[in-house]
Each structure stands twice: as C-alpha cells, then as structure tokens.
A and B are shown apart, each in its own frame.
Chain A
Amino acid sequence: AQSVTQPDIHITVSEGASLELRCNYSYGATPYLFWYVQSPGQGLQLLLKYFSGDTLVQGIKGFEAEFKRSQSSFNLRKPSVHWSDAAEYFCAVGGDFQKLVFGTGTRLLVSP
C-alpha cells in the first residue's frame, strides 16, 4: 500500500532564508507525486507535481521539488521564503488517482 511520511510537524524559517520540507513515500512503482499548500481557512492548492521526466520540477510561487527515486523522497524547496508562505504543506502520492494518499502535513512558520 502506498504511504507518505512528512517527518516535520512544524518548521520555523526566517523571512528571506531558504526552505526545505521533507517528504518520503512508499509505493511499488513509479509514483505520481504532488505538493499542496493550505492557507488558513482555505482549501488545498496545488504547488507542483511530478509524474515523469525531469526529476526537478518547478511549481508556482517560486517552489521546486526534486524526485529522488533512490531515497524515495520528494522534498520541497524554496530559495527565499516570504511571510506569505506561512501555511500548511501536504505531500501526496498516487498511482491510482482514486486513492491519492496524503501526508500528515508540515506547518511552516515564518519569523521576521
């Protein structure tokens, strides 16, 4: 069965500093991988996705993620965090789209 682990429940980053959110997955074949962001009071919005090709994918709002098959990871990065990036971030894995599995989320706090 597929699963997703986001080991960090909370992360605090200073504004302007770089960010990396970790995501490890378990899936028997090449997975489809997603990062979603949830701002307070809002639904989830897609940041980026990987399903084939270049293992470094670019998303919206300056985010990128790298698929590393050998490490079963799909970490999210941003070179310079803005205060508006404070939100909760969810990694998700699917091969069977009806059963997209989400991680437990990482809450990002941005300090001045």
Chain B
Amino acid sequence: EAQVTQNPRYLITVTGKKLTVTCSQNMNHEYMSWYRQDPGLGLRQIYYSMNVEVTDKGDVPEGYKVSRKEKRNFPLILESPSPNQTSLYFCASSIPSSNSPLHFGNGTRLTVT
C-alpha cells in the first residue's frame, strides 16, 4: 500500500531536549515536505526537499532541521525544542509536478512543556 509513515504519532517532551520525527514514503517520490498545523493558521511549510541531498527552507524553518540522505526518508529534527513548537506536524510527498497531489502522513502531535 502506498503510504507516508510518520513516527511517533504523539510525543511529549521538555524544552531543550533534542528530538527527531521520522518520515518515510514507499512511492519513490522525489519531493518531500514538512508542514506544521496550528489552529487558525492552517498548514505552514517548514522545509522541503526536491531530491536526495537537496533541501530548502519553507515559510517557518526557524528551530528546525531536516536531512535527506535517502530518497524514502525525510526526518525532522528539533535540536532544542521550545513550547512554541507545540503543534501538529505533517510530512508529505509527491512527484515533482505542480499538478500532482501531495500524499500526507497521519501526523505527529508534539507537545513541548
């Protein structure tokens, strides 16, 4: 089954404790992206990747890092999480075409205390 898998689904952590949210897709998609979803703000793009070893900032990249060492994986790294990063995070992938839909993971709800 074609899917984007995020782990974990839920994560509670404390300020400053480094964490990684994993994302993996089995559709051989070149393009992958991370979004955060906050009430009243919709989805905002954090980082995206056009292919292996090619990443770029989205609209809200501060406080986040990503890497793309393999085509299928695109982890999101929070080196020093802060409470304002409490959010619902989504990973998505697609083929690199403007009319291709994004395939989303089921989300990771992160709480930073």
Interface set of A (CB-CB < 8 Å, partner B): 4, 9, 32, 34, 36, 41-46, 49, 51, 90, 94-100, 102-105
Contact = CB atoms under 8 A, between A and B. Distances in A.
Interface string B13-47: 00000000000000000010101000011111100
Contact of B104 (A9, A43, A94, A105): A43
30 contacts: A9-B40, A32-B98, A36-B102, A36-B104, A41-B107, A42-B106, A43-B90, A43-B106, A44-B43, A44-B92, A44-B102, A44-B104, A46-B101, A49-B99, A49-B101, A51-B99, A94-B98, A95-B98, A96-B98, A97-B98, A97-B99, A98-B31, A98-B33, A98-B56, A99-B45, A102-B35, A102-B43, A102-B44, A104-B40, A104-B42
B83 to A, nearest CB: 22
Interface of B: 4, 31, 33, 35, 40-45, 48, 50, 56, 58, 90, 92, 94, 96-102, 104-107
